[in-house]
């Protein structure tokens, strides 16, 4: 299955051209190396309504199967990506965010203050990643193996989820 992905970078400085986006290209590279089709890419300010509208547009109009956000998941007053995501998703998929935080703790104690969430809007899986290039790459790499299976299930695959461990 060809997976259509969108990348949304939430950054006030990036949106107005005061910071070069390094997370987006790093995310794009990883996804393209695994044959995901990047069908949307946008840098937007840390504004809840803008984030919500962009997530909905990428899902409904661009028809993304997967939306990766990067940025806005910390504790700063302007970090509102999780709140925007929470307001539009139909269901939370907590395992993705839990895995990212747990595994990232091996690299940095700051992983425990990441507030990113993951969930489903209609038939689109949305993953909030940290804004730092290192954190975004690390977190995406952690969850990447489960994404195709999650999307198959989201699209209606009724086959068993069993993994054969040689038993």
Taking the C-alpha atoms of residue 72 and residue 12, their distance in angstroms, rounded to an integer, is 10
Taking the C-alpha atoms of residue 36 and residue 66, their distance in angstroms, rounded to an integer, is 9
pLDDT-derived band at 34 (thresholds 50, 70, 90) equals very high
Residue 162: the pLDDT is: 66
Q: pTM score, two decimals?
A: 0.94
Q: Break the chain into its structural domains and give their ranges.
A: 4-154
The pLDDT of residue 16 is above 60: yes
Residue 166: the pLDDT is: 46
Residue 74: the pLDDT is: 95
CB atoms within 10 A of CB 38: 18
Residue 160: the pLDDT is: 75
The 10s digit of each residue's pLDDT in 42-61 is 999 999 999 999 999 999 99
Residue 50: the pLDDT is: 98
* Largest distance between two CA atoms of the chain: 55
Residue 165: the pLDDT is: 44
Residue 163: the pLDDT is: 62
CB atoms within 10 A of CB 130: 30
Tell me the mean pLDDT in the region 148-152: 97
Q: 61 with 122: CB under 8 angstroms?
A: no
The pLDDT of residue 90 is above 50: yes
Residue 167: the pLDDT is: 45
The yes/no answer on whether domain 4-154 falls in CATH 3.40.980.10 is yes
Percent of the chain past pLDDT 90, that is, above it, reads: 93
Q: What is the mean pLDDT of the chain?
A: 95
Tell me the mean pLDDT in the region 106-131: 96
């Amino acid at each position: 299955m060809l997976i259509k992905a969108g990348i949304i970078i939430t950054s006030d400085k990036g949106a107005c051209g005061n910071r070069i986006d390094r997370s987006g290209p790093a995310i794009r590279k990883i996804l393209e190396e695994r044959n995901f089709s990047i069908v949307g890419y946008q840098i937007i300010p840390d504004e809840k309504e803008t984030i919500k509208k962009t997530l909905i547009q990428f899902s409904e109009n661009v028809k993304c199967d997967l939306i990766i956000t990067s940025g806005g998941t910390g504790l700063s007053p302007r970090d509102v990506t999780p709140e925007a995501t929470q307001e539009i998703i139909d269901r939370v998929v907590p395992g993705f965010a839990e895995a990212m935080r747990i595994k990232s703790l091996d690299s940095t104690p700051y992983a425990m203050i990441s507030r990113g969430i993951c969930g489903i809007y209609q038939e689109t899986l949305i993953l909030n990643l940290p804004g730092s290039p290192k954190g975004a790459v690390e977190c995406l790499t952690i969850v990447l193996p489960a994404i195709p299976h999650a999307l198959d299930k989201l699209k209606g695959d009724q086959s068993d989820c069993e993994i054969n461990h040689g038993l």
